[in-house]
Amino acid sequence: MSGTTATAPLNPARTLATAARVLRQLAHDPRTVGLLLLVPVLLITLLRYVFDGSPRTFDSIGASLLGIFPLITMFLVTSIATLRERTSGTLERLLAMPLGKGDLIAGYALAFGAVAVLQSLLATGLSVWALGLDVMGSPWLLLLVAVLDALLGTALGLFVSAFAASEFQAVQFMPAVIFPQLLLCGLFIPRDQMAPLLEAISDVLPMSYAVDGMNEVLQHTDITGDFVRDILIVAGCALLVLALGAATLRRRTA
Amino acid sequence: MMNSSGVAVEARGLTVQRGSRTVLRGLDFTVEPGRITGLLGPSGCGKSTLMRAVVGTQAKVTGTLQVLGSPAGHPSLRPRVGYVTQAPSVYTDLTVRQNLDYFAAVLRPGRAHRDTRRDAVTRALTEVDLTSHEDALAGNLSGGQRTRVSLAVALLGTPDLLVLDEPTVGLDPVLRRDLWQLFHTLAAERSTTLLISSHVMDEAERCHRLLLMREGEILADDTPDALRTAAGTDTVEEAFLHLVDAAATRKENAR
């Protein structure tokens, strides 16, 4: 066998092949693709008319939601997809083959990251150009935050799927992992108005920075220092959780 | 590529613990290279655990287990060992060819190998007789067809050692015969070593050597002929029953 078949931590060709495979699986499931792409669009439209009388509220909640949608959907899709990979025996097969754990994780992150780009393009584009979402900064920055959020969702989904033995358990991790972050991220009450303990907790939850980042773009024409800090924290958390997810993949199992 | 003793698999004191249960108890056995070794025994006797230990996916393995000259599970073995689990492990939401394309890309990644990969996929599809179904979703195939897709994946990399866990369960007699012909061709023409498990004793007659297992122990390690002769029986099944009775008597006497 040639040198290319040795197991390196990350092999670009194997990573790309894995990403392409995940996208091919999605392509055979048009209903899931439809739901992934259209549900955020419909929800943001609904939100626009719920806050018909107060466009300022729509701006702030709308921008936050553009960051939260990709996180939640990618969390759900990834946790189920990797759980299926674990239960169907394909994960065991792959890990008995010369595939690096990093190839698998990065492949999933790439594939769902690509879907998130598409999803966010639709939702952000519609919000800014059709629904009158008023952002001071560049809509492309909203897209950047949305994609990083999707990556974080993918990472969290990969990680928790290791602790779920069935689809029933996997979907229960959504409220368990995502809802506390949703309540504390500043969507309902600004974080600095929370009780000190809750604010401290929200300070260590990644979704808080996802929402803060969105609001920075909303309120400033330039790229602010806070914005850079926010996206670095979100990206750093995503990478950290992806690494934790890789650690849950065991070549040898009982 | 073989180790000095000229065996494909060599186990000494192989023990596997699953939870509080000892599934394999200090097994000693060898698997000869380029031959078909049948691993036979009733369901739940530890066949799958033994195979997973050889492939290197089983945790809590003690004793020594050398595979193709390296410790079982060594990274250098991953491209050289093909493994088919009992339940077909393929993506049900991909077509047959898409499944094979992906696993081929894992084995030989990169653009440079594209033609080699295409040839390997086409060859594997032909070997398991699924060329006419290559564009069908794996999830829409029958159980037997899906088993063959799983087998085709293991054939992709022309492995030196093929570990097949009950590959012919639920297949019709014609297909079973064809697959056994394929196994013999692989052993004869490519010197592939095959370790094949089954709980159907009539498949034993098709193997070069047999490991008879029961309750985590190996009762016999010999050729089908030698087993029948030693037990004075006409079939391997009768020889197996004879060995089980003999072992029970020994235990009784030891008490």
pLDDT tens by residue, A45-89: 999 999 998 988 899 899 889 989 889 999 999 999 999 998 899
Q: Which tokens in the block code for residue A117?
A: 């780009």
Residues of chain B with Cβ-Cβ distance to A20 below 8 Å are: 102
Q: Is B15 on the interface with A (CB under 8 A)?
A: no
Which chain A residue is nearest to residue B55, measuring alpha carbons? Answer: A96
Residues of chain A with Cβ-Cβ distance to B88 below 8 Å are: 89
Residues of chain B with Cβ-Cβ distance to A252 below 8 Å are: 56-59, 61, 73
3-class DSSP state of B73: coil
| Half-sphere exposure for B124 (CA within 13 Å, toward CB) | 28
Which chain B residue is nearest to residue A26, measuring alpha carbons? Answer: B93
Q: Do B57 and A25 touch (CB under 8 A)?
A: no
Q: Per residue of chain B (255 residues), give pLDDT as tens.
A: 444 458 999 999 999 999 899 999 999 999 999 999 999 988 889 999 999 999 999 999 999 999 999 999 999 999 999 999 988 999 999 999 999 999 999 999 999 999 999 999 999 999 998 999 999 999 999 888 999 999 999 999 889 999 999 998 878 888 888 899 999 999 999 999 999 998 888 888 899 999 999 999 998 999 999 999 988 888 888 888 888 888 888 878 877
Helical (H) or strand (E) element with B194: strand B193-198
**Residue A17: which of B83, B87, B106 has the nearest Cβ?**
B106
Q: Of B68, B60, B61, B53, which is closest to residue B10 (Cα–Cα)? A: B68
pLDDT at residue number B28: 95
Q: Is B75 on the interface with A (CB under 8 A)?
A: yes
Q: Is B29 on the interface with A (CB under 8 A)?
A: no
Q: Is B81 on the interface with A (CB under 8 A)?
A: yes
Q: Which tokens in the block code for residue B206?
A: 């098709």
Query: How far is B175 from B194, CA to CA, in rounded Å?
Result: 18
Residues of chain A with Cβ-Cβ distance to B94 below 8 Å are: 21, 24-25, 28
ipTM for the predicted complex comes to: 0.88
Provide the β-strand partners of residue B66: B10, B71
Which chain A residue is nearest to residue B111, measuring alpha carbons? Answer: A13
By the 8 A CB rule, do B43 and B199 touch?
yes
Give how far Cα B207 sits from Cα of A7, A59, A152, B202, B249, Å. 34, 72, 52, 10, 28
**Best of B86, B102, B164 to disrupt the A interface by mutation (most A CBs within 10 Å)?**
B102
**Residue A17: which of B18, B105, B153 has the nearest Cβ?**
B105
pLDDT at residue number A8: 58
Query: How far is A215 from A194, CA to CA, in rounded Å?
Result: 18
- Tell me how close the Cα of A73 comes to any Cα of chain B, in angstroms: 20
Residues of chain A with Cβ-Cβ distance to B106 below 8 Å are: 14, 17-18, 94, 97-99
pLDDT at residue number B240: 87
pLDDT at residue number A3: 40
Phi, psi of B61 (to 5 degrees): -105, 130
Q: Is A90 on the interface with B (CB under 8 A)?
A: yes
3-class DSSP state of B36: strand
Rounded to two decimals, the pTM is 0.89
- Is the Cα dihedral B206, B212, B215, B217 positive or negative? negative
Provide the β-strand partners of residue B14: B27
The secondary structure of A186-235, three-state, reads: CCCCCHHHCCHHHHHHHHCCHHHHHHHHHHHHHHCCCCCHHHHHHHHHHH
Which chain B residue is nearest to residue A89, measuring alpha carbons? Answer: B89
Q: Do A4 and B18 touch (CB under 8 A)?
A: no
Give how far Cα A81 sits from Cα of A17, A77, A88, B202, Å. 16, 6, 10, 40
Query: How far is B234 from B223, CA to CA, in rounded Å?
Result: 14
Query: How far is A237 from A156, CA to CA, in rounded Å?
Result: 9
Residues of chain B with Cβ-Cβ distance to A77 below 8 Å are: none
**Residue A14: which of B76, B106, B137 has the nearest Cβ?**
B106
Query: Residues 196..215 of B with a Cβ closer than 8 Å to A: which?
Result: none
Across the beta sheet with B21-31, the strand order is B21-31, B9-18, B61-67, B70-71
Q: Which tokens in the block code for residue A220?
A: 């400033």
Q: Is B140 on the interface with A (CB under 8 A)?
A: no
**Residue A4: which of B83, B85, B109 has the nearest Cβ?**
B109
- The parts of chain A modelled with pLDDT lower than 50 are 1-7
Q: Which residues of A81-105 are buried (b: 16+ CB within 10 A; e: fewer)?
A: bbbbbbebbbbbbbbbbbbbbbbbb
Q: Angle at the Cα of B236 (from B233 to B242), degrees rounded to 5?
A: 60
